[in-house]
Amino acid sequence: MRVLLVDDNPRHRRAGVRQLEAFGHEVVALCDYGEARERARAESFDAALLDLLMPAEPTTLGPAARAEFVGREIGIGFPLVLELTRLGIPRVAVATDTGHHDHPMSAIVDWFRDTNLMVNGARVLILHAPMCEDGTKDWEGILARLLR
């Protein structure tokens, strides 16, 4: 499978590439959601694995909003699901390693526990990430759950 992996944490990205390539997947690993949108517009992917919380990018923000928001973690994983499924990626998972007591967006992930979602005709999974012994996300486990 061709997998788009988007996570701002370099340890999680490296682990994802290592884990997924070990199972024969081709992985495009990115740290920024703007680039992920552009790649999904230009290339075909079988699945996307996304971090929930990533730093806000400047995009079309004005100076005051840039000063306040750029670099702050936002729940970009949710709108990115809408965009990537709209662009035709048939399977998308959003996985957070942030505890539900630590961020409101992570607490909302509890709403979707064990729920199969269909968004724009794509299968979507939203979950608290299973973790590997080294403290990185278990991306292969996340993909396996998405493919069930």
d(C-alpha 125, C-alpha 130), whole Å: 13
Asked if residues 33 and 55 have their Cβ atoms less than 8 Å apart, the reply is no
Average pLDDT over residues 99-103: 89
d(C-alpha 45, C-alpha 47), whole Å: 6
pLDDT value, residue 78: 95
State the pLDDT confidence band at 113, using cuts at 50, 70 and 90: confident
d(C-alpha 42, C-alpha 16), whole Å: 22
State if pTM tops 0.85: yes
Average pLDDT over residues 15-22: 98
Which residues share a beta bridge with 5?
Answer: 29, 49
Average pLDDT over residues 74-85: 95
pLDDT value, residue 59: 81
d(C-alpha 14, C-alpha 21), whole Å: 11
